[in-house]
Amino acid sequence: MSADTTLTCRECGQDFTFTSGEQDFYASRGFSEPSRCPDCRAARKAQRDGGSSSYSSYGSSSSYGGGYSSGGRGQREMFSATCSSCGKEAQVPFQPSGDKPVYCSDCFQQRGGNSRSGGRSRY
């Protein structure tokens, strides 16, 4: 197993850790090592998607000039984490503390974590 390495982001110049789990994941998919930190990767992905993904378009259509400053129902702050199941990079709406597993959206749904989307009540 390879050791964690420190890389420098070509976008913002910050150093970031490329963990051994991420290295294994990238190698298994035939990807080269990332040249951007997780924050710059997420920003670039959002830019590339043009805001059409379900995450970035939710609640952002009429938030300008609607009487809300930054506390309104707008874009949620997302954090990068490595999925505890598949090792893929995941964006999660909370700061991972490291003491509980974090899953990407695919693994989260497979594990039955999204209890709100079932359509059936529990009666």
Going along the chain from its start, the domains and CATH numbers come out as: 1-52 (3.30.1490), 76-114 (no CATH)
Does the model's pTM come out above 0.75?
no
Mean pLDDT across 104-110: 83
Q: Give buried/exposed letters for 28-67 (b at 16+ CB in 10 A, else e).
A: eeeeeebebbbbbbbeeebeeeeeeeeebeeeeeeeeeee
For 52-90, what is each residue's pLDDT tens digit? 544 444 444 444 444 444 455 566 777 888 888 898 888
Sign of CA dihedral 111, 117, 122, 123: negative
Q: What pLDDT sits at residue 62?
A: 45
For 28-46, what is each residue's pLDDT tens digit? 988 888 999 999 988 888 8
120 pLDDT band, cuts 50/70/90, is low
